[in-house]
Structure 1
Amino acid sequence: MPQAGRKTPFSGKAKKQQLQSKKQNKTLLLSTTSGESGQDVMSVNYQPSRGGRNCNRYALKFFRESDAELKMKKEDALKALNPVAETELEVDPHVYFPEDLAFPKRPPWDFSMSPAQLDAQEHKYFTEYINSLQATEYWKQMSYFELNLETWRQLWRVLEMCDILLLIVDVRFAGMMFPPSLYKHVMEQQKDMILVLNKVDLVPAAAVVAWKKYLTETCPGLRVVYFTSCPGYNLSGATSDKAGLLVRRRRGRQRMCAEGATRLLEACGELVGARVDLGSWEKKIREETDVEFDYDDQAEVGETILQEADTSYYKHEKYKNGVLTIGCVGQPNVGKSSLMNAIMGRKVVSVSKTPGHTKHFQTIFLTPQVRLCDCPGLVFPSLVPRPVQILMGAYPIAQLREPYTTIRYLGERLDLPSLLRMEHPEHDDTWSPRDICDGWAKKKGYLTAKAARLDTYRAANSLLRMALDGKICLWLRPPGYAANKGSFETADELKYVKWVQALTSQSAQPGRGPAASESSGDTDTQTDADDSDSSGVEDIAVANKFAALGHH
């Protein structure tokens, strides 16, 4: 008689329960009861193992919300929205990143330690770091942040290797993506830091100018560069609809984003001086300005060196062998991979909207003298509200257990019914987060499969994805923006907005003086007549857009 028992009848209901149990076991990779919270740690981008490799070594890990919290938030979704004043959209990075809430740094080591000893020391340090956070007053206010030691090790490696650190942030949420503790750490290491305000085509020009002014004043020595991987010549059709929703339709064949790449080259050139020859980078920009590439083509992995994370020793030598090493750090979904592809002029890094898509430390040689080190997306410890983190793309929308709190945050700061041109599902005058989702589900025809009820969750996910992509555009302001809005809207620096976005151009880059070399701009894709008038920039033929590159 065989050892295995006879198979018993297995109902469809039992099979469904079995699959749900397997899914739960895969999601909850790690459970902890340390500290007072007793919260579970969940992996939000689990992938099945392939070929005996642990594909979840670099999985994003966050604390899981309790069922009581979820129940309370779902009940709150039925309450009416309370619109906030414009001044409530002003954010101060130091409020969300207190000085005593620093990110984990690599513990001290020496060459007498073996790799196993160093590994054990780092595990011990990280555990003590998490426990120390749980003992602070911030613990209950803290939002999602990275709990995977392997991902932090990748950051440590990039910080050790780089000569210049690029911190890439989404300009819409710049104040909530810029950890001052990272800036302070880089300055203490006697290294340089460049802040890249990415996706500048999504917000008004005055807001970008204001963010640059605020950050450069509060962080001495910080360089600010504006960038967009969607300049006008890489888009087709209108940039907004009649209701004000932003639209960005990428062309199939695209060109290198030479404006932003030029700004980055200038900033690096000022920092390295004659110690590194950046002529090859400058030549690359000129040569690939009008060369088109297919954005959907597969990445040219021959240009990329994947390096497994390790705990080996690395002694930094600035500009070693005449090579400039630029480290790229930023939160998930901030556009690091898209920026690299835009700088290269072709696709060399895979791009995805899923947070944590880039899992490995990657080294890409831009030219023989310039290499980029891409760190996986990393969420720093902060007091940033969770709804904002979801809108920033730090947490996968598909795995969000309760979307209504984020819809409330969005609906209290934007007039969603007018933007979406939808009617109240119950013909009422008062909107709640649930009403917003039901109204959108009704308009789009989102119905559940069995009962044909309004699919509220699908509608909520759709709205959050539109916000993440910038179609529904919420952008936050620096402190004092409302009081000084007039001065920002008439600033000379607005001339750089149209140039970087490449909707218009000028025969030469404006303001080639020292002050202008640090300035740049962004754009308002809503194409408001008021905004275009305030910029004072005259439309000039696109054919002259890159004339400035010939002066280098």
Structure 2
Amino acid sequence: MPKKDPALGRCLIRAHKKRSNFVIRDGYRHTSDLLDGRDFGKLNLNSVTEQSSLDDFLDKAALAEKEYNEEFADIRIVEADVSNGILSEEEKILISEAQEKNKEVLCIPRRPSWNADTSKEELEAKEREAFLLWRRKLALVQEEQHINLTPYEKNLEVWRQLWRVIERSDVVVQILDARNPLLFRCPDLEAYVKEINESKLNVLLLNKADFLTENERQCWCEYFEKTGVQIAFFSALQEIEKNSEEEDFISEKEKKSSDFLSIKNDPKILSRDELIYFFKSICKLVKDDGISNVGLVGYPNVGKSSTINAILMSKKVSVSATPGKTKHFQTFIVDNELCLCDCPGLVFPNFVSTKAEMVINGILPIDQLTNWVHPVSLITKCIPRHILQSTYSVLIPAPAEGAENVHPTAEEFLNAHGYNRGFMTQRGLPDNARSARYILKDFVNGRLLYCHAPPGVNQEDYHKFPEAKLKKIVGSNSNSEIEFKPIVLSEADKKFFSKTQVHFKGKPLNTGEDESCSKPWKKHYNRNKKEKLRKKCLNPYD
């Protein structure tokens, strides 16, 4: 074998050092190349949203740079009381009142003031102290007022990336999920942008707008128009799937139109070129000349990375629903007038009724879920029975006679789904946990569509489900009329679907029936015949 050239490694190292000092045109470069004394390769930029009470205590102690010694042997860590189940209407009203009363506490951490004379060590110490006080304040309100908060970001390094994006950007765009915009909106972030610089502007970009009808988008336009917030509708996945030959380009007449300068919120879903011109029009209100910076922030799984890829027409950012995929903010130059600043996905502190609501909205990772009953129960309460049956081609057990508008339970729906898909455990039971993961991901991805109405709009009038499909029965001759009748189960079918069908390997359960006649072809007349030892060990009922 030829010997390795030791000089090759040294050449690669020298070439890497030369590239590290490379500056992009117009003075923009990657944040890891900024000469600010911070080594991003050694920083812990992993997203931290959920912690146990013990981890939370130790994390705060590390931030405060204090050490605690055990003084008593019976020290007990009390877990936070976070509701998982379905709340009644009275409980929802009480939670809404408590949330409205304490909405001023719901804020994001502020960066302490600093100037050119502030050293790096002093600024980092101030940031740690301010971040620690912020976490203590939220924990105290959550404990005293019994208010549930989303598992917000608890890593200081991730918040430092947000501070840099806000300070650098001329316009800060919050990307929201159009199905439930208020859950993903952070009003305090808009206030913080104005605190940094009064001339900076806030814009809400409602992504995944293709899930909404035109009337639903018009309702949100009227709501945000009353509150004085500038919004725009966009669908990143729909734009990515478009063929480049079918893209709509803006004419010169449309560019000169004053209606397109976003004076009034429009329910139209913007294309890629229209969105770029929308950003440029907003930036001109702040900056007349030079390149404008637009900062994109938002929760994970709202389509922030997909929006950037749709604008750049290439996969520049990795797409992931888990917080922490983007480690630090990056800049992408669209043209000589517009630059995008990509911020890591952040989970802002927000009020929420139950933990199940966080799961079905994609805030908590589904693959790490252990309690799936309450999230699926919330889905069966939101989605009508006939929609679930037609979507998955399953037959959910009908409600008892005389019971109307009764939602199926999570167990009924998951059992039907498991039997239909063949998701069974080793003991012959339907694998409800596996079925729940598929159903929850379908809800997050929009296959099971449910859109929340704006405040003041009736939910039933806002989002209407398609009517149940009826069975088509055609007469014997061609001239007979077509009659539509609902599907009616026979007595045999009702008896079959009313009881749980369970199959066990080995000896069946004692159902009260005569087991000797259940399988006459498996009778063994030789009772003295010895069975294999492995069969006896594997049979749990012997």
1:271 aligns with 2:271: no
Corresponding position of 1:29: none
Deviation at 1:424, TM superposition (A): 3.4
CA distance in 1, matches of 2:457, 2:410: 28
- 1:95 Cα shift? 4.3
Q: Does 2:110 align with 1:122?
A: no
- Whichever residue aligns with residue 368 of structure 1, its letter is N
For the 8 Å contact 2:358–2:364, the answer to whether it is kept is yes
Task: Select the residue among 414, 421, 424 that pairs with 2:396.
Answer: 424
Q: What is residue 381 of structure 1 aligned with on the other side?
A: 349
Deviation at 1:100, TM superposition (A): 2.5
**Residues 72, 381 of structure 1: alpha-carbon distance in 2 compared, 3 angstrom cutoff:** closer
After TM superposition, the score normalised by the length of structure 1 is: 0.59
Residue in structure 2 matched with residue 460 of structure 1 by the alignment: 436
- Whether 2:322 is the aligned partner of 1:345: answer no
Instruction: Using the TM superposition, give the Cα deviation of residue 430 of structure 1 relative to its aligned residue in structure 2, in angstroms.
Output: 6.5
SS across alignment from 1:135:
helix
Which of 58, 62, 73 is the aligned partner of 2:50? Answer: 62
C-alpha separation between the residues in 2 aligned to 1:466 and 1:155?
A: 31
331, 345, 360: which one aligns with 1:391: 360
Q: Which amino acid aligns with 1:435?
A: E
Which residue pairs with 2:165 in the alignment? Answer: 158
Match of 2:302 among 317, 334, 340: 334
Contact (CA 8 Å) 1:201, 1:525: kept in 2 or not?
A: no
Question: For 1:175-212, what per-residue CA distance to the aligned partner results, in whole angstroms no more than 9, with x for missing partners?
Answer: 11112111222234221111101001112222222112
Shift in alpha-carbon separation, 1:55–1:389, aligned structure 2, 3 A: farther
Q: 1:71 to 1:144 in 2, by over 3 A?
A: closer
- Tell whether the 8 Å contact from 1:330 to 1:377 is kept in structure 2 after alignment: yes
The RMSD of aligned alpha carbons is: 4.0
Whether the 8 Å contact between 2:45 and 2:324 is mirrored in structure 1 is no
- Are the counterparts in 1 of residues 248 and 271 from structure 2 also a CA contact under 8 Å? yes
The residue number in structure 1 matching 2:175 is 168
Match of 2:154, SS? coil
Secondary structure, aligned partner of 2:271? helix
- Indicate whether 1:433 and 2:410 are aligned: yes
Q: What is the rounded CA distance, in whole Å, between the counterparts of 1:415 and 1:226 in structure 2? A: 28
Q: Is the alpha carbon distance of 1:171 and 1:141 closer, same or farther for their aligned partners in structure 2, counting shifts above 3 Å?
A: same
Indicate the larger mover: 129-138 or 167-176. Answer: 129-138
Question: Following TM superposition, by how much is the alpha carbon of 1:480 offset from its aligned partner in structure 2, in angstroms?
Answer: 1.5
Whole-angstrom CA distance in 2 between matches of 1:204 and 1:93: 33
Structure 1 residue matching 2:433: 3-state secondary structure? helix
Measured after TM superposition, the shift of residue 433 of structure 1 is 2.0
1:324 and 2:333 correspond? no
* 1:241-256 equivalences in 2 (<5 Å): none
Q: Distance in 2 between matches of 1:262 and 1:82?
A: 44
Q: Which of residues 158, 167, 192 is equivalent to 1:185?
A: 192
| Matching residue's letter, 2:396 | H
Hey, what's the Cα distance between the residues in 2 that align with 1:408 and 1:153? 38
Closer, same or farther: CA 93–164 of 1 in aligned 2, 3 Å: farther
Q: How does 1:282-293 map to 2 (within 5 A)?
A: none
Change (3 A) 1:356 1:387: farther
Moved more, 138-147 or 428-437: 428-437
The residue aligned with 1:20 is none
Q: Report the residue type matching 1:399 in the other structure.
A: Q
1:462-497 deviations in Å (ceiling 9; x for gaps): 111001111011211111222996xx99xxxxxxxx
Deviation of 1:364 after TM superposition, in Å, equals 0.8
Q: Distance in 2 between matches of 1:480 and 1:158?
A: 34
Displacement after TM superposition at 1:439 (Å): 2.3
Asked if the contact 1:256–1:345 (Cα under 8 Å) also holds between the matched residues in 2, the reply is: no
Instruction: Give me the whole-angstrom Cα distance separating, in 1, the residues matched to 2:248 and 2:339.
Output: 18
Residue in structure 1 matched with residue 511 of structure 2 by the alignment: none
Would the alpha carbon gap of residues 465 and 70 (structure 1) be closer, same or farther in structure 2, given more than 3 Å must change?
farther
Q: Residue in 1 aligned with 2:241?
A: 234
Q: Name the residue aligned to 2:68.
A: none
Higher RCO structure, 1 or 2 (CA under 8 Å, sep 6+): 1
Q: CA deviation at 1:256?
A: 6.0
Q: Deviation at 1:54?
A: 6.0
Q: What is the TM-score with the length of structure 2 in the denominator?
A: 0.60
Who wins on radius of gyration, i.e. which is larger? Answer: 2
Q: What is the match of residue 267 of structure 2?
A: none
The 5-angstrom pairing of residues 43-122 of structure 1 reads 57-64=45-52, 95=100, 98-122=103-127
CA deviations 1:158-190 (Å, max 9, x no partner) are 110000011100000101111211122223422
Q: Does 1:261 align with 2:272?
A: yes
Distance 1:446 1:466 in 2: 17
CA distance in 1, matches of 2:335, 2:345: 24
Question: Quick one: structure 1 residues 422 and 380, their matched pair in 2 at CA, closer, same or farther if it must change by over 3 Å?
Answer: same
Distance 2:120 2:82 in 1: 47
Residue 208 of structure 1 is matched in structure 2 by 217
Amino acid in structure 1 at the alignment position of 2:128: H
Asked if the contact 1:93–1:179 (Cα under 8 Å) also holds between the matched residues in 2, the reply is: no
Counterpart of 2:455 (choices 479, 482, 485) is 479
Relative to structure 1, is the Cα distance of residues 447 and 96 closer, same or farther in structure 2, using a 3 angstrom cutoff? farther
2: distance between equivalents of 1:420 and 1:95? 39
The residue aligned with 1:520 is none
Q: Secondary structure at the match of 1:109?
A: coil
Identify if the C-alpha distance between structure 1 residues 93 and 165 changes in structure 2 by more than 3 Å, giving closer, same or farther: farther
Q: Partner of 1:116: helix, strand, or coil?
A: helix
Q: In structure 2, how many angstroms separate the alpha carbons of the residues matched to 1:356 and 1:362?
A: 14
In structure 2, what is the equivalent of residue 361 of structure 1?
329
User: Is 1:403 matched up with 2:372?
Assistant: yes
Conservation of the 8 A alpha-carbon contact between 2:172 and 2:201: yes
Could you give the per-residue CA deviations for residues 58-96 of structure 1, whole angstroms, max 9, x where no partner exists? 22332348999899989x6xxxx89989x99xx999849
**Secondary structure in structure 2 of the residue aligned to 1:201:** helix
Q: Provide, for residues 300-338 of structure 1, a one-character-per-residue CA deviation record: whole Å limited to 9, x for no partner.
A: xxxxxxxxxxxxxxxxxxx6xx11000000001100110
Contact persistence 1:162–1:327 (CA under 8 A) = yes
In structure 2, runs of 5+ residues without a counterpart are 1-39, 55-76, 250-269, 401-405, 469-542
Q: Structure 1 residues 348, 430: closer, same or farther in 2, change over 3 A?
A: closer
Q: Which runs of 5+ in 1 are unaligned?
A: 1-51, 236-250, 278-318, 490-523, 529-552
Q: 1:401 deviation in Å?
A: 2.2
Q: Is the 8 A contact 1:93 1:175 kept in 2?
A: no
Q: 1:274 to 1:118 in 2, by over 3 A?
A: closer
Which letter does structure 2 place at the counterpart of 1:62? E
Opposite residue 124 of structure 1, the aligned amino acid is E
Task: Give the distance between the partners of 2:122 and 2:339, measured in 1 at CA.
Answer: 31
